Structure 1
């Protein structure tokens, strides 16, 4: 009966997978998601280590995208705290930022506690974290699923918030697909670049040939577009602890 239940179990990191579709291809993160789902079917202990690694990877990706690389010595709770401090956790132009900010801070503290618990589970029961006595008590599928679900929720939240911000205001790393409006405007302003029968979009050529020039033109476009509305940087509303 137990074997039958295990065989029917197919956990999917729905939130994390959906969040990835909002941005550029993140192959390493997708591989980690696949590994967690696979581990829960075959070696549940390994899910603790993989869930922790997934959250670390997303936090480091977010920080690198916005030009604030993570300190390699940061443990996961510190890494998550620094990441959330630098993200815009409130909607732009929120009518009650003070009250909403307090609620978001409570949410962030809850996420930090969840991560701390995930770290403790990983340190004590993760299959790959430390060598251990072969006959040490082990956790089973239920606890491993909890770790995976926690990671799924955190990754989905952080990555979606981050991607929303990057679309509004580019960070240190710029992704071409994030700025369709600018690309269209730029392509209307300049003629197609032709090499024989090959036709290339001016915006795409600029992006690949001179990334800094692309960023400069993009920022000028955003300032002109949002200037009349007094638009702020999308990362300006980060909630500090």
Structure 2
């Protein structure tokens, strides 16, 4: 009966899938999401390992994007804490940032408790990481779904906040799709490049052929844009 219920169950990492659409394709993370969903449909307790791994992967991706790579010795709770400490958790124009930050940080502390729980579930009941007694008691689909839902909530929140910040201020890793305003302005200043029957946009050619030059031009564009915005506020 339990096996029949598991085979009919279909869980989706809805929040994480939607958050990933905000950025460039991240194949490794997408594969982890798919693995969690498939595990819950077939081998539920494998989801304990995969859910923890997904949170760790997204934290490491965020930190690498902003040029502050994770220490390889950090465990999952430390990794999550360091990641949230480096993210702007509130909209920049919020009228009461201190009160709102206090509330958000309380929620973050709850997330830290959640990741600690994921670690313990993975260590005690996961299938892949440490091995276990073949006759040890197992948890079932309900507990595995809880782990996956917790990971989905944490990851979707972190990645959305991170992607919002990257579109406003470039990080160490710059993605072409994040900066449509700069690309359009750059393309207006230079002629389209003709290559046989192809028309290549100057901004994309610069991004692909001289990534550092693209980053430098983007940084200058963002600085000029921010200066203009500050002057407008002062008027």
TM-score by length of 2: 0.95
Give the corresponding residue for 2:37.
Answer: 37
Contact 2:6 2:40 in 1 (8 A): no
Give the corresponding residue for 1:204.
Answer: 204
Question: C-alpha deviations, 1:196-234, integer Å up to 9, x for none?
Answer: 332211000110111111111111111222213339xxx
The structural deviation recorded for 1:8 is 2.5
Secondary structure in structure 2 of the residue aligned to 1:91: coil
Q: In 2, distance between residues paired with 1:199 and 1:30?
A: 32
RMSD between aligned residues: 1.3
Secondary structure in structure 1 of the residue aligned to 2:48: helix
* Structure-2 change in CA distance of 1:161 and 1:112 (3 Å): same
Ranked by relative contact order (alpha carbons within 8 Å, sequence separation 6 or more), the top structure is 1
Q: Is 167-176 or 132-141 further displaced after alignment? A: 132-141
Give the corresponding residue for 2:64.
Answer: 64
Q: Which runs of 5+ in 1 are unaligned?
A: 232-241
Q: In 2, distance between residues paired with 1:94 and 1:142?
A: 39
Give the corresponding residue for 2:179.
Answer: 179
The structural deviation recorded for 1:4 is 4.1
The structural deviation recorded for 1:11 is 0.4
Question: C-alpha deviations, 1:41-74, integer Å up to 9, x for none?
Answer: 1111100000010000000000000000000110
Q: In 1, distance between residues paired with 2:193 and 2:85?
A: 43
* Structure-2 change in CA distance of 1:196 and 1:124 (3 Å): same
Give the corresponding residue for 1:234.
Answer: none
Whether 1:218 and 2:218 are equivalent positions in the alignment is: yes
Give the corresponding residue for 1:75.
Answer: 75
Question: C-alpha deviations, 1:81-123, integer Å up to 9, x for none?
Answer: 0000001111112111111110111011010000000000000
Question: C-alpha deviations, 1:138-172, integer Å up to 9, x for none?
Answer: 10000000000000000100001000000011100
The structural deviation recorded for 1:3 is 4.3
